[in-house]
Chain A
Amino acid sequence: MVGAVPGTHGVTGAHTGSMRTRSRWALAAATTGAVVAGAVVVPGVASADPDLPPTTAGQLLADVASAQELPFSGTVEHTSDLGLPELPQGQGAGGGDLVGLLTGTTTLRVWSDGEQRQRLALLGSFSETDVVRDGTDAWVWRSDERTAVHAELPSQEQLEAARGSAGDEGADAPMPGATPAEAAQRALAALDPTTEVLLDGTTTVAGRDAYDLVLRPRSTISLVGEVRLAVDAETSYPLSVQVTARGASDPALRTAFTDLSYAVPDDDVFAFTPPDGAEVREAPSLGAAMAEGSVPEGRHGASSGWTGEGPVSSSGRGSAPEGAAPTVVGEGWDAVAVLRGAAGGLTGGAGDVGAGQALLDAAQPVSGEYGSGRALQTALVSVLALDDGRVLVGAVPTSVLEQAALDPAAVP
């Protein structure tokens, strides 16, 4: 067809031609601009630095240490950019996995009643891992495996008894009787030899005003460039933690509240009853329960690193030999932990065979006077797994780990 039908022009007046066309498109473009501006600018305005009463770095440190336990609930976003390879994850998991904390972004929801009950939920795209603590009962629930692992926790009295027998271990903690100024002095003095502590203005995290506290290692060896804490101006809770590698501009680890409320959470949140059809297991401790939850059936032997209870020999889970506690070589930020008997090597801590293999592939074979093994250096942490079963971990380059392996304290 050629030309326009005259009648249709009369109806809507598109006849007026290009000027009208232009104004219509201009309006559409303006709308687009407004939407983009709304999306980009509004969050920026909300996070303008607030005006807060002046304080000192030492005072802030003491406040953090003596902060009262408050009930709260919120959402936390955790991002890791350690330079690790993409770790394979179960298809349904998509981040709802403890291994997922090592790479990419993970969203967590947290609740606490400020006393004996806490809950943490790792949100996967179609799964969830929950750690629920209700007094002395703890549950680890994994939706993709439908497992609920229960662990009995020591009661408050048992914990206090244990603390009492530990003697003067607690002497470094700020004493309740000390004045705020003394506590501040003490906190600063404890850190000063190894760390430069400074206050770096104010910020807003999850809609709350906060002070920015920066800890900078004095060490020239450590991989850690700085640790930045946002401390709630009102409650002294840390609202975000960012760890930046030396020489890097963006944090390698970032954990921050995106949403936080100090209201007392519902009782329901802390009540966990294993659902029908779930596989219910018992574990000796919360660490073991978390490890058990994150490892597919039949692969428990490789789960040592997650228990957080020191190395576990490959011969049996939970039967760590006496005297296998990690030795520490070096001081402060340069400290290197030497784990013995972790025969799983680098795969040990991965919690999943697929992820462990990916980590192993990323590690370089090394050898020297100390023996041979594999080394992996990430942005913040290095791991050296030796064939003799020793695993050295530290926030230092692998060359420092190799030296530490020669240290008399670290011999096998």
Chain B
Amino acid sequence: MSAPDTAPATGGPARPGGGASAAAGRRPSGAAADLRLLRSELALVLSRRRNVVMLVVLALLTALVGVGVDLATGDADPGTGGGPPFLASLTQNGLFLAFASLTASLPVFLPLVVSVVAGESVAGEASSGTLRYLLVTPVDRTRLLVTKFVATVLYAAVAALAIAVTGVLVGLVLFPVGDVVLLSGTTASYGEGLLRLAAVTAYATAMLTTVAALGLLVSTLTEVPVAAMSATAIVVVLVQIMGQVPQLSFLHPWLFTDGWLRFADLLRDPLALGGVGDGLLLQAGWVVVLLGAAWARMTSKDVTS
């Protein structure tokens, strides 16, 4: 062992984004310190080039869907019912680009980017050797874990927002805007449509909390970030496949992907909140279980690198 065990500045790779500097210093206490730690963690996540590129790709995908539909409108018969959900409504109202893109991204793209960020969170620091420096400073492991979880969830929110905002903007440019026809055939104002989009975005973020917790757990089990990322993504895909197998139908209500696409209920009138509530409760259950395991692992493991 040649690495010094004192200040991070004297050797070893520096923690980018100023994470270590904010966490270092006097023993932090109270909410202000928590917030400082979270801010530094979030800055770290959002400044990583890979994470920014993923956000840009999500936005580009959304724009691409809009342009594609716009080009195809000439020969497509609107309202035939086929194709991905909400896409048929797109030619009537641009706001549906945001709904269609969120629906299309939630099963694969969004969990993938959250897997990358969550998988990186602990394993990345362990592999680059910054984790032990972070822990030398008086930062409680539990607090560090919670901070990383919250930062990952916030990143998920930013990713969902990137899709929603791009959808709204591209929709404004390419398609007619105005009153929104809800699934129940009721007409709502554009403002109410935006409110409902905000609710859908929040629900999509909530659905990604389990992925974040799962990624965090896997991340505490390995020091190879890529392994943590791919393992998380694979589990998410596997669970969705299980959700498609009729022989496993007894398991379906308990799979964390079960309620993912239930946000269509937020586009009904009157609002149907039963299914949405069940979806949120299921996520909460999974998050508690997975974070509990991640906490047990994090607070008991030997940090050796």
Contact = CB atoms under 8 A, between A and B. Distances in A.
B110 interface: no
A181 to B, nearest CB: 41
Interface string B218-243: 00000000000000000000000000
B67 interface: no
A193 B92 CA distance: 59
B181 A277 contact: yes
Contacts of B293: 25, 28, 32
Contacts of B88: 92, 144, 146
A145 B81 contact: yes
Which of B92, B184, B246 counts the most chain A CB atoms within 10 A? B184
A2 interface: yes
Contacts of B103: 126
Most buried by A among B83, B265, B300: B300
Contacts of A2: 1
Interface string A1-34: 1111111110110100000110011011001100
Interface string A379-410: 00000000000000000000000000000000
B140 to A, nearest CB: 7
Contacts of B289: 31-32, 35
B185 A130 contact: yes
A275 B185 contact: yes
A14 B302 contact: yes
A35 B185 contact: no
Nearest to A86: B246
Interface residues of A, number: 59
B44 interface: no
B183 interface: yes
Contacts of B186: 275
B181 A275 contact: yes
B264 A8 contact: no
B76 interface: no
Interface stretch (A170-178, A222-230, A266-274, A367-375): A266-274
Interface magnitude class on chain B: 35 or more
A127 interface: yes
B57 to A, nearest CB: 24
A266 B181 contact: no
A259 interface: yes
B47 interface: no
B84 interface: yes
Interface in B129-174: 132, 135-136, 138, 140-141
A93 interface: yes
Given A3-B1, A275-B186, 10 more contacts: A8-B303, A25-B300, A31-B289, A35-B289, A75-B274, A126-B103, A126-B261, A266-B270, A275-B179, A296-B81
Interface of A: 1-9, 11-12, 14, 20-21, 24-25, 27-28, 31-32, 35, 38-39, 75, 86, 90-93, 107, 109, 121, 123, 125-128, 130, 139, 141, 143-146, 148, 258-259, 266, 268-269, 272-279, 296
30 contacts: A1-B304, A4-B302, A5-B132, A5-B303, A8-B303, A9-B302, A11-B135, A11-B136, A14-B300, A14-B301, A14-B302, A25-B300, A27-B292, A28-B292, A28-B296, A31-B289, A35-B289, A86-B246, A90-B82, A91-B85, A92-B84, A123-B272, A125-B264, A126-B103, A126-B183, A128-B184, A146-B79, A146-B88, A272-B185, A279-B79
Listed from nearest, the 6 A-B pairs whose CB atoms lie closest are: A126-B85, A7-B5, A141-B185, A28-B296, A21-B300, A28-B292
